[in-house]
Structure 1
């Protein structure tokens, strides 16, 4: 194989490589190849030329990469100008940013870091650092700064001084301008900054809308500045010390009040009772305390009332003053073991508009039921006409419960509870609730929801018969669509059988919407 005279446009092929390799392996004399030195020199020249071209290409490649990255970054920045969030109205952007921080100031702090985060509105400050647009939105939207949560006793343990926290609170209040204020405050006079903080908040009293406040007697004088300033107040939750300051009697928009009785209440608090729609009272009732139910008589427009009471009144106390109320919902959560006390409570009430009645435990004590007094209350208040929702968690027998339900012909929702010390949900109760077209009288014929928190001390087949009868009643138009919710309590001694659950699942499928079954098992 001959070598070319010049190699400027020549590139060796596989055959050329094979030829050279053959000569190398054979040890052949190459003296007859006079042009070899010339070829090598020419090839080395071409190699150097190619190296120069490669170096030039490498420089151009680096330039291209740099230009590519710059162009991509610039295009991305230009695209950002067209991002949907930049075209949002300011109000909508502020709402979105507010949702990002909705966890802040939603409840009382439990540790110093949470307290610092709440007081300084850390989430809002972090969002304000993202870009100028977001900073303008955060700093220029009073609503975002109008949720305040303070627990003074944690201030001394925060990583910044109480004076700094007070400055942060002042900043937030000023940023909120005149926007309605949601306020949570726990303060006691034993902490040096409590009076300063409360005075600062009182200076914004005209903004108060939703308030949850617990203070002690040492701060009552500071509350005096609230009187006549609560023009926007709608919801109020206070301890008994705060409410006894009597500064909440003029609040034209107030409609919901909750009282935590941390001390004795010796007179009916001065509140605009005639305009309240919801009242809640939590505390103890002893012989030295006012009859807490008397507020029902003066709250003429109230529709929802809740009492969470530790009933310590001895049975020798005389009957309370009769109370007549048009409330639509009454919750009585009692810690009481004396049936005479429950008798007096029921005997003192007349509730001609009641639709929802809840009788349940307060804390750990299961209250005793007063069947005869309830019958009188039901007849006196014509529960048969309007009571549609009943919750009973009490020491009540299955027979007493059936007698109670027999009075409530318009009942639609029933919740019943078993307790470790007392069982109400038995075969007798389930048989009594069974719907049958052949029976002249059906207990709760319009029942559409049966909720049971149970120890499962009943027979599965009877439970299934009850469900089937109610579903069939739906088909016949004699009862409302039926929902069954069962919660199996942890102290139960058995489980629902697989056969029962399979039968209910089959029935639920066949019922096509006339049955909804929900089961929750607590371990």
Structure 2
């Protein structure tokens, strides 16, 4: 039978199936040969074999017979295998047709699904609620195809078009990268952020560097992100507590002037670091940072006149008096200190030096000895509209009353 150009239609396949079912239902049982002989139970050479051979049949004749039987079985097996291969060949286009039918059914079911009748505006709102929470710097993971927004582009063509046309799905990005694969990550950044289409951008980057020279000059790509407004960076590296390496400070200088919120709490900066990154501070309104000396706080406030919210951690054993300084825009100050030699000294000197006339929220953490008199003088001097005071140290009811007397807007004191 010639099959190279044969096109089997459904009726032919049905005929074959019917014929095979008829054969199978007839319960044709393959011939089973009786293999029992006078020698079957003999396990060791026996001198009586010769007598048995003379009485019955020779062993060589039995072997010849068994070989003919084996040849017949192998021939039947080969024939059945050929039939099964042919059935498998007939089955493949049917399976393909089945899959195509299922796809067509699912497509048309989607067309009558309520989701397909939703206006794009409502679907866009649903997509926004699918976004995962923005992780902390110590929880950063590369974007996954199994979570929004990337997952939304893999459901169907319409969802992909809606998701790709929504800048609000792509304006935030968290990434954990190593200096060895930074260029690949930078390319991924660029592809992702192009979809934001000018929407204010928010980035979180955790960078792992193996060497003292971190080769972070590639950060210069951020200078082209003119819509970048928020950025958080945490760098793991072998850098001592000396001055910041030139390539890192250069990278910070490449950040665009549109940046207004910057989280650099992954670095420990000193006075010189502040100066080396000077231009970036002037445009910031929100900052999270760690510094190695109290005087760096005042220097930072001097370099960042537009700052309205500052979260700062001071790690220093160096205790010294600070020059008076007034910052006219700071409204929220969250500060913590580490100074084991003289607990409370950092707060003591800061409250003696600072005047914050617009301060509304003050949080002071890790205060072992609260400088009551210095803080009271700070309130009197600043004349600020303080509304919330959060202190981890001990404050008496009498001290609270004095604070409220100086600042009537103060509603509560927590510690």
Q: If the TM-score is normalised by the length of the shorter chain, which range does it land in?
A: 0.5 to 0.7
Q: What's the counterpart of residue 393 of structure 2?
A: 394
Deviations 1:379-418 (A, max 9, x none): 22235xx333222221445544444444333322222x2x
* SS in structure 2 at match of 1:281: strand
Q: Quick check: 1:244 aligned with 2:249?
A: yes
Which of 231, 237, 259 does residue 211 from structure 1 map onto? Answer: 231
Superposition map of 1:39-58 within 5 A: none
Superposition map of 1:35-74 within 5 A: none
Q: What's the counterpart of residue 331 of structure 1?
A: 334
CA spacing shift, 1:119–1:180, aligned 2, 3 Å: farther
Q: What's the counterpart of residue 259 of structure 1?
A: 264
* SS in structure 1 at match of 2:310: strand
Instruction: Give how far 1:120 is off.
Output: 4.9
CA spacing shift, 1:163–1:376, aligned 2, 3 Å: closer
CA spacing shift, 1:329–1:89, aligned 2, 3 Å: same
Deviations 1:146-169 (A, max 9, x none): 43322124999xxxxx99878766
* SS in structure 1 at match of 2:226: helix
Greater relative contact order (Cα < 8 A, sep 6+): 2
Superposition map of 1:84-483 within 5 A: 84-100=114-130, 102-103=131-132, 106-107=135-136, 114-115=141-142, 118=143, 120=145, 123-153=148-178, 172-173=192-193, 180-190=200-210, 198=218, 202=222, 205-215=225-235, 244-245=249-250, 247-248=252-253, 251-260=256-265, 261-266=267-272, 267-268=274-275, 269-271=277-279, 273-285=281-293, 290-314=295-319, 317=320, 319-326=321-328, 327-336=330-339, 337-361=342-366, 366-383=367-384, 386-415=385-414, 417=415
Find the aligned partners of 1:163 and 1:375 in 2 and give their Cα distance. Answer: 53
Find the aligned partners of 1:196 and 1:409 in 2 and give their Cα distance. Answer: 49
- Is contact 1:119-1:169 (8 Å) kept? no
Instruction: Give how far 1:374 is off.
Output: 1.8
* SS in structure 2 at match of 1:411: coil
Deviations 1:70-112 (A, max 9, x none): xxxx999877535443244435423423432x1176455859x
* SS in structure 2 at match of 1:187: strand
CA RMSD of superposed structures (Å): 4.4
- Is contact 2:325-2:355 (8 Å) kept? yes
- Is contact 2:228-2:259 (8 Å) kept? no
CA spacing shift, 1:136–1:398, aligned 2, 3 Å: closer
Find the aligned partners of 2:397 and 2:382 in 1 and give their Cα distance. Answer: 23
Find the aligned partners of 2:105 and 2:145 in 1 and give their Cα distance. Answer: 37
- Is contact 1:155-1:165 (8 Å) kept? no
Find the aligned partners of 1:301 and 1:82 in 2 and give their Cα distance. Answer: 55
Deviations 1:186-237 (A, max 9, x none): 223439xx96994695485335332212347899xxxxxxxxxxxxxxxxxx
CA spacing shift, 1:154–1:339, aligned 2, 3 Å: closer
Instruction: Give how far 1:142 is off.
Output: 4.9
- Is contact 2:229-2:260 (8 Å) kept? no
Find the aligned partners of 1:349 and 1:355 in 2 and give their Cα distance. Answer: 15
Instruction: Give how far 1:350 is off.
Output: 1.5
Find the aligned partners of 1:197 and 1:147 in 2 and give their Cα distance. Answer: 22
Superposition map of 1:491-502 within 5 A: none
CA spacing shift, 1:389–1:79, aligned 2, 3 Å: same
CA spacing shift, 1:333–1:90, aligned 2, 3 Å: same
Give the gaps of 5 or more residues in structure 1.
1-73, 157-161, 220-238, 418-523
Give the TM-score, by structure 2 length: 0.57
Instruction: Give how far 1:348 is off.
Output: 0.5
Give the TM-score, by structure 1 length: 0.47
CA spacing shift, 1:247–1:380, aligned 2, 3 Å: same
CA spacing shift, 1:88–1:109, aligned 2, 3 Å: farther
Instruction: Give how far 1:134 is off.
Output: 1.6
- Is contact 2:286-2:308 (8 Å) kept? yes
- Is contact 2:132-2:147 (8 Å) kept? no
Give the gaps of 5 or more residues in structure 2.
1-103
- Is contact 2:231-2:261 (8 Å) kept? no
CA spacing shift, 1:164–1:406, aligned 2, 3 Å: closer
Instruction: Give how far 1:323 is off.
Output: 0.7
* SS in structure 1 at match of 2:292: strand
